[in-house]
Amino acid sequence: MPSYDRSVALWEEAKRHLAGGVSSNVRYASAPVPLFFARGEGARLYDVDGNVHIDYILGNGPAILGHAPPAVLKAVAESLADGQVFAAQHERELALAQALTRLIPGAELVRFATSGTEAVHMAFRIARAFTGRRKIVKFEGHYHGWTDQTYISVRPSLNEAGPASEPVAVPESPGMAPGALDDVLVLGWNDLAAVEALFARHGGDIAGVIMEPVMVNGGVIAPAAGYIEGVQRLCTAHGALFICDEVITGFRLGLGGAQGRFGLKPDLSIFAKAVAGGFPLALVAGRRDVMEILLTRNVMHGGTYNGNVQSMAAALAALALLEHDGGAAYRDMERCGTRLMQGLAELGRKHRLPILVQGFPAIFQTFFTTAAAPRHYRESAACDRDMAAAFSRALQEEGIRVNQRSAWFLSTAHDTAVIDETLSAADRAMARLHS
C-alpha cells in the first residue's frame, strides 16, 4: 500500500491557512486526503511522498501534451522577458486569434478570457444582448461552471430533479441567488422531442441553448444521431442562439473540437483547458454578427489577464504541436486511447466485472452497470457509483490516477508503453475488487 503521510500532514497544515485546505472544491475528491504533488512530467505525476502516478486526470483536461511539455515551456520562457500583462494588444494575441478562426468551424471572431466559467458567462451575456431575451436552456448532467446562473442541475439527486419529462432546475450549492433559477430552463439530454416541446411553450423567451456537444461531465455520452443538428435547427427557427460548451472537447476531440468532428457550426462556442497546453486560457468564438455586438452595442466584457503574454505564447506552441504533420498527435492518441479502452473492456470480462467503457479515445469513462450504455444523465446516475469509486481507489494503489467518477483523459505523452503499464496495473486493480 502506498504511503501518503506527508500529504496528510500538509493537508492538515493547509486547512489552517486555505479554506478547506484546497483552492477548488473539486479537489476534495481524492483519497485518503487531497494529495500534494511535487512535480509532473509527461504522463506522470510525482507526489510529495514519493509515489509515482500515471496521470489520467491531467489537470481535469488541460494537459493534452502531458505535464511540462518542453516546446510549450520554451515558448513561455522566451516570452517572459517581454512582460506579462499590458492592458493592451500584442502580436501574439493576434496570431492566436488568426489560428483559432482558421481551425474552429464556427469561429469567425474570438474573444479571450481566463477560465471556462468566465467565458460561459460572457457567452450568456452576448446571447441575451443579441436576442433581447432572458432565458437559457441547459441540460441535466452538463457542467458550465460554478456561477449562480450555471451551477444548476449538474448532478442533481433524482428525488429532487422531478419527472424526466419536465425536470426541475436544481441549485447545486448553498448561497446561490434564488433568482438565478428564473432564467434557466432545464431538459434531459438526447431527447429532441423535449426540446421541440419546450420551444413550443417558451420559444419567444429563449436567448440560447447551451450544451456540451459530448456530455463529458455526465458520463462522456455522445449525442444521438441527428440530435445536435435538430437542436440547432430549432434554435435557428425560433431566433435563439445555439451555444456549444467545448471547454473539454475543444482541441481534445480534434483541432476543430467536437464541432469539427460532427460537422457543426454553432452560433457561439466556449473553449478552454487544452487550448494552451496547461496554461490558463479560455475564449468565446462565434458568428461575426453575434460577436461584433461586444463593440457595436457596447456589451461589456473585461478581464485584466485576458490575452496575457504567457498564455498566448503557450497556446501558439501547443497548437503548433497538435497541428504538426497533419495532426499526427491526434492519430497517435486515437490509437493509444482505443487500445486502452479495448484493454479495459477485456479485463472486465476476464474478471467478470460489469464494466462499460464509453466515450472517445482522448476522453472516456468507465461505468459499472449491467444495463445498456447510458444515453443521458439519469441513466448515467443509475450506474454503480460505489463500485466506480472503489475501482478508482484500487487504481490509485497501483499507481494509476483517475478521477472519482472514473473519467479518463489522455495526452500525447500516453504512448504504447504507458498504456501497457496502465493495463497491467488495471488488471491488478480489478483483481483487488474481488478481494
Q: What is the set of active-site residues?
A: 143, 245, 273
Q: Which of 56, 78, 75 is nearest to 67 (CA)?
A: 56
> Cβ–Cβ contacts within 10 Å for residue 300, how many?
8
Which grid coordinates are listed for 11?
493537508
Which grid coordinates are listed for 361?
479515445
User: Angle at which helices 70-80 and 309-350 pack, to 10 degrees?
Assistant: 160
- Chain-centroid distance, C-alpha 89: 28
User: Which residues neighbour 86 within 8 Å (Cβ) at sequence distance 6 or greater?
Assistant: 309
Q: Which amino acid is at 425?
A: A
Please report, in angstroms and rounded to a whole number, the separation of the first and last CA atoms in the chain: 14
Task: Provide DSSP, 272-316.
Answer: -GGGGTTS--EEEEE-HHHHTHHHHT------TTTT-HHHHHHHH
Distance CA 200, CA 229 (A): 18
For 174, the 3-state DSSP assignment is coil
> Would you call the peptide bond into 266 cis, given omega within 30 degrees of 0 as the criterion?
no
> Cβ–Cβ contacts within 10 Å for residue 28, how many?
12
Is-contact 279 73, C-beta < 8 A? Answer: no
Is-contact 364 408, C-beta < 8 A? Answer: yes
Q: Is the torsion defined by CA of 195, 196, 201, 207 positive or negative?
A: positive
